[in-house]
Amino acid sequence: MADQRYVITERAGGVGRLTFNRPELENRYDVAMMGEIRDAVAALAADDDVRVVVLTGVGNSFCAGADPAFLDAIAAMDPDRIKRTVYASFQGAVRAIKLCPKPTIAEVRGPAFVAGCEMAVACDFRLADETARFREGWIDFGLVPPLGGMFLLPQLVGLGKATEMVMLGTTVDATEAAAIGLVNKCVPAAQLTAEVDALAARLAAGPARAHAVAKAGLRRAMESSLAAEWEFSLEAQTLLLSGPDFKEAVTALKEGRSPRFR
C-alpha cells in the first residue's frame, strides 16, 4: 500500500504484520494513522495468502496514546465533524480488528494506552514483554472508552478491574496483565517476537475456515449487544469531546497542570 505513512505492512509465511510506525511519537495516533490501520487490516483480511494478522509498534512502544496535535484539533471540532471524520477512522480501525475473520495477535511492548489499549483488547491474542503497560486513560480527558473497550474489557478482566481501568484510569503492568487475563502470556523482552512468531506460525498452519467460524461463534456468544454498545459510545463520546471537560483537559496538558473539571 504505497500511500501508507504511519503503518508498515509486511506479508510472509501466511502472516500479515502491521506495524505502527511513528517512533518519534511513541506511535501515538491521529485520524490519518487510525484510517491507515483500518484500511491495512481490511486489506490483510481480504488477502487469501494471509492467514494471521499481527499488530505491533516500531521501537519500544505499542501505542502511547494520542498525538497532542490531534488533541488540539479535535477540541475545536463540532459534533458532526467528530462523527464523520474522527470516529469513522477510530471505530473503523477497531471494528476491522475485532471483525477480522482471521486470527489477530497484539505484540505489545511498552505502553498500550487509550486507543492503543482498545486495539490490543480487540485482538484475539495478546502477548507482551515485561515492559508492557495497559491503560484506558480516557477518563483523564473527561471521556469514556468509545471503541468497544467498555464491553470487551470486562469480558477479559472482570467487571471490578475493568471499572478501575475505565473510571480511575488505572495502569496495568505486564505482570498484572498476565495474572488477570488481559494478556495470554508475558515473556522477557528478548523472547517476545519469537513467541509471537511461533503462535502466528501455529495459527497459520491451522484450519483457516474453522478459525473464521470459531471467531464468529465466540463473538456471537458474547456480543449480543456489542453493535449497540458501539453506537451508544459514538453518541456519548461525540458529546463529551465537544464539551468543556475535554477542552479543559487539553488546555491543562499544554499548561503542565492537572485539569479542573466542572
Can you give the pTM of this predicted structure? 0.91
Is 250 or 220 the better-scoring residue by pLDDT?
A: 250
Percentage of the chain exceeding pLDDT 90 = 76
Is the pLDDT at 256 greater than 60? The verdict is yes
Instruction: Write out the three cell numbers for 3.
Output: 500511500
Domains along the chain? Answer: 7-190 (3.90.226.10)
Per the CB < 8 A criterion, the answer to whether 205 and 136 are in contact is no
Which of 85, 70, 56 has the alpha carbon at shortest distance from 195?
Answer: 56
Q: Give the pLDDT band (50/70/90) at residue 224.
A: low
163 CA to centre of own chain: 18
pLDDT one-digit tens code per residue, 152-167: 999 999 999 999 999 9
Is the pLDDT at 1 greater than 60? The verdict is no
Q: Quote the mean pLDDT of the chain.
A: 93
Q: What's the confidence (pLDDT) of residue 229?
A: 81
pLDDT one-digit tens code per residue, 15-54: 999 999 999 999 999 999 999 999 999 999 999 999 999 9
Long-range (24+ apart) CB contacts under 8 A made by 156-164 are 156/121, 156/180, 156/181, 156/182, 157/181, 157/182
Which of 71, 62, 164 has the alpha carbon at shortest distance from 121?
Answer: 62
Q: What's the confidence (pLDDT) of residue 154?
A: 95
Is the pLDDT at 121 greater than 80? The verdict is yes
Q: Give the pLDDT band (50/70/90) at residue 258.
A: very high
Return d(Cα 171, Cα 28) in angstroms, integer.
17
Stated as kind and residue range, the H or E segment containing 137 is none
Per the CB < 8 A criterion, the answer to whether 219 and 155 are in contact is no
Beta-sheet pairing, 15-20 with 7-12:
antiparallel
